Structure 1
Amino acid sequence: MARGDDRRADGPHDGPADGEDGRPDGMRRGNPALTSRAAILAVVVCAIALSLAYPVREYIAQRQEIAELRQKEAVARRQVEILAQRKQQLGDKSYIEREATRRLHYCRPAVKCYIVLDGGGDGGRQAQKGGPTSRPPWYETLWRSVEAADRPR
């Protein structure tokens, strides 16, 4: 027999029929083993989640690092290709001669070369932009005035 049945068999009670916890018989407390099982299950699930959190975080961080390294590798490969093309250009003798003539104004011994300084053409535009201005900068004017004031009269 159940506990509640034993009490009814003993005799009449004052008030409604109560279980051991003071509740009416129809509202008996659930099985306490289920509650402890649920608590153990919750602890186990939390332990598994906590034990997996760090490795998953490290896995994601490593995947991001791999993606960044692949991107850097692609950039480095592009630079290597550009440098290989540049090396090939610099190995060409005609390219070197053209660049020496254009940049350094070198001239072959058998060829007469002229440099036009009147401001016409591409070189003239560079001379006008980088050439002397009509007025010197303010600091040069200031320094000249200091030197003039320092001279004996």
Structure 2
Amino acid sequence: AVDGVRSANRPAAARRTAAGGTIRRLAAPHPRRFTGRATVLFAVLLALALAYTYPVRVYLDQQVDIERMEASQAAQREEIAELSAQAAKWQDPEYIKIKARERFYMVAPGETPVIVLNDADGAARDANGGRPPAAPKAPVPWYDTLWSSVRAANGEAADQ
């Protein structure tokens, strides 16, 4: 009876070992693919990834905007530098004289101005020996071109 009391207090595996039997499993336990903790961890990581996609996209768009604005500022700085150089030129009296001669055909006292005119009609008249230039041929209307192609197609079909 003492052994019976003692065996009742022991775990089942210890009782079987004490009884002289070996512990054998008939089938191996099937490990679960995902434990509950792994599933929760995966869900948390997926939620974090989804939560960060929009801010990352906004960040990348802002970086592109910043680069475009910096390029625009660089172009504006170059234009400002060019305009400043032109403004500095206009402070020079010699430059003003040169521009006045070019734009308004001004000459200094004692100089003889020579103005070359670009007269395309006069040059064509001179080339034709004084005859008026020939009138340009009028373009053929589209329907005449279409009708002539129909006639040509019909003539080729009749020859074959």
TM-score range for the pair, normalised by the shorter chain length: 0.5 to 0.7
Aligned pairs (5 A) from 1:4-153? 25-30=26-31, 35-108=35-108, 110-115=109-114, 117=116, 127=117, 130-133=118-121, 134=124, 135=133, 138=136
Higher-Rg member (1/2): 2
Q: 1:98 and 1:61, CA in 2 relative to 1: closer, same or farther beyond 3 A?
A: same
**Across the two proteins, how many residue pairs are aligned to each other?**
109
> Structure 1's 116 and 54: CA in aligned 2 closer, same or farther, altered over 3 A?
closer
The one-letter code sitting in structure 1 at the alignment partner of 2:68 is E
1:60 CA displacement: 1.0
Deviates more, 1:86-95 or 1:75-84: 86-95
Q: Distance in 2 between matches of 1:65 and 1:136?
A: 59
Task: Tell me the CA shift for residue 51 of structure 1.
Answer: 1.0
Q: Structure 1 CA distance, aligned partners of 2:88 and 2:136?
A: 48
Amino acid in structure 1 at the alignment position of 2:89? Q
Alpha-carbon distance in structure 2 between the residues aligned to 1:137 and 1:73:
54
Tell me the TM-score normalised to structure 2 length.
0.57
Pairwise CA distance, 1:137: 7.2
Find the residue that maps to 2:55 and give its secondary structure: helix
Q: For structure 2, which runs of at least 5 residues remain unmatched after alignment?
A: 1-10, 17-23, 125-132, 139-160
Please, which moves more after superposition, 74-83 or 48-57?
A: 48-57
Aligned-pair identity (%):
23
- Equivalents in 1 of 2:99, 2:26: separation in Å? 105
> Higher relative CO (CA 8 A, sep ≥ 6), structure 1 or 2?
1
- Cα 1:100–1:77 change in 2 (3 A) is same
Quick check: 2:107–2:113 contact (8 Å CA) kept in 1? Answer: no
The separation in 2 between residues aligned to 1:136 and 1:95, in whole angstroms, is: 46
* Segment of structure 1 superposing worse, 48-57 or 70-79: 48-57
- Within 2, Cα distance between the matches of 1:74 and 1:87? 20
CA RMSD of aligned residues (A): 3.0
In the TM superposition, residue 81 of structure 1 has moved relative to its aligned partner by 0.2
Distance 1:52 1:25 in 2: 49
